[in-house]
Amino acid sequence: MAINWFKYSAPSTFYGAAGKMIPWFAGASAILFIVGLYMGFFVAPTDVQQSEAYRIMFIHVPVSILSMIIYLIMAGYAALGLIFNTRLSAMMASALAPTGALFAFLSLWTGALWGKPMWGAWWVWDARLTSELILLFLYLGFIALHASIDDPRRADRASALLAIIGSVNVPIIYFSVKWWNTLHQGATIKLSGTSMHVAMQQSLLTMFLACWLFAITMALLRVRSIILERERNNQWVMELAETKK
């Protein structure tokens, strides 16, 4: 079965496809959230050192990892848009940015809540915390630059360039716990074996998938609005059922 992928790189066809995909992603995300939170709060055992406080990890770790992954995906879409001049890629990049910024913010917020009982401080000037904060600034810079340019084409291209430059920061965040000897603990989840209880690991994985699906849902919802906004003068938009009022 051959699928013509290029068909869905046109905003008009992707609009419909995205609309069909959203309920599935949203539903799966909601189910995984419920399962993951239940497992995290009731099934996973109490930690010996950190007692109950460690449970914030089930939010903190997925949003932190995703804040980095979303930035890379955003920069990837931005690069695609810049190189091949595809309209949809740039729209996807700007649709991903607010979710990424939200995740970066949540990562810092939950990190502060976790840091207070564990380290005795809401914030420490640790390499990983600082570089995650820079990531949040990069997201905000991307959004601000895009918002302040009126011409959508120039806005897409200028912010794409910024996103690509900023992606230098992602490896710095990821390796910061290895390069600098810091307060923030190193990676616990490794490909070859882990030092974590199985139930904890499974709930973490479930929450990670839930957050990922949530990000996809939000990006698709947002990209549909962006498509409508950008293509509002086109015939196919005027023929849509939801625009006829």
* 134 binds other proteins per the rule CB under 8 A: yes
* 149 binds other proteins per the rule CB under 8 A: yes
Backbone φ and ψ for 47, nearest 5 degrees, come out as -75, 145
Angle between helices 87-119 and 11-38 (to 10 degrees): 20
Question: Binding segment for other proteins among 21-29, 95-103, 153-161, 203-211 (CB under 8 A)?
Answer: 153-161
* 141 binds other proteins per the rule CB under 8 A: yes
Question: Binding segment for other proteins among 93-101, 147-155, 196-204, 235-243 (CB under 8 A)?
Answer: 147-155
Burial pattern 78-92, b for ≥16 Cβ within 10 A else e, equals: bbbbbeeebbbbbbb
* 78 binds other proteins per the rule CB under 8 A: no
Listed residue (183, 187, 197) closest to 48, CA to CA = 197
Rounded least distance, CB 79 to other proteins, Å: 12
Rounded least distance, CB 18 to other proteins, Å: 27
Kindly identify the residues of this chain, within the stretch 19-48, that bind other proteins according to CB under 8 A.
none
Residues 6+ apart with CB under 8 A from 202: 39
Residue 47's SS3 state is: strand
E-only strand ranges, the chain: none
* 130 binds other proteins per the rule CB under 8 A: yes
* 162 binds other proteins per the rule CB under 8 A: yes
Question: Binding segment for other proteins among 36-44, 62-70, 161-169, 210-218 (CB under 8 A)?
Answer: 161-169
Question: Binding segment for other proteins among 5-13, 53-61, 157-165, 194-202 (CB under 8 A)?
Answer: 157-165
* 223 binds other proteins per the rule CB under 8 A: no
Long-range interactions of 24-30: CB distance < 8 A, separation 24+ = 25/213, 25/216, 25/217, 25/220, 26/213, 26/217, 28/213, 29/210, 29/211, 29/213, 29/214, 29/216, 29/217
* 124 binds other proteins per the rule CB under 8 A: no
Residue 51's SS3 state is: strand
* 144 binds other proteins per the rule CB under 8 A: yes
Residue 89's SS3 state is: helix
Per CB under 8 A, residues contacting other proteins are: 130, 134, 137-138, 140-141, 144-145, 148-149, 154, 157-158, 161-162, 165-166, 169
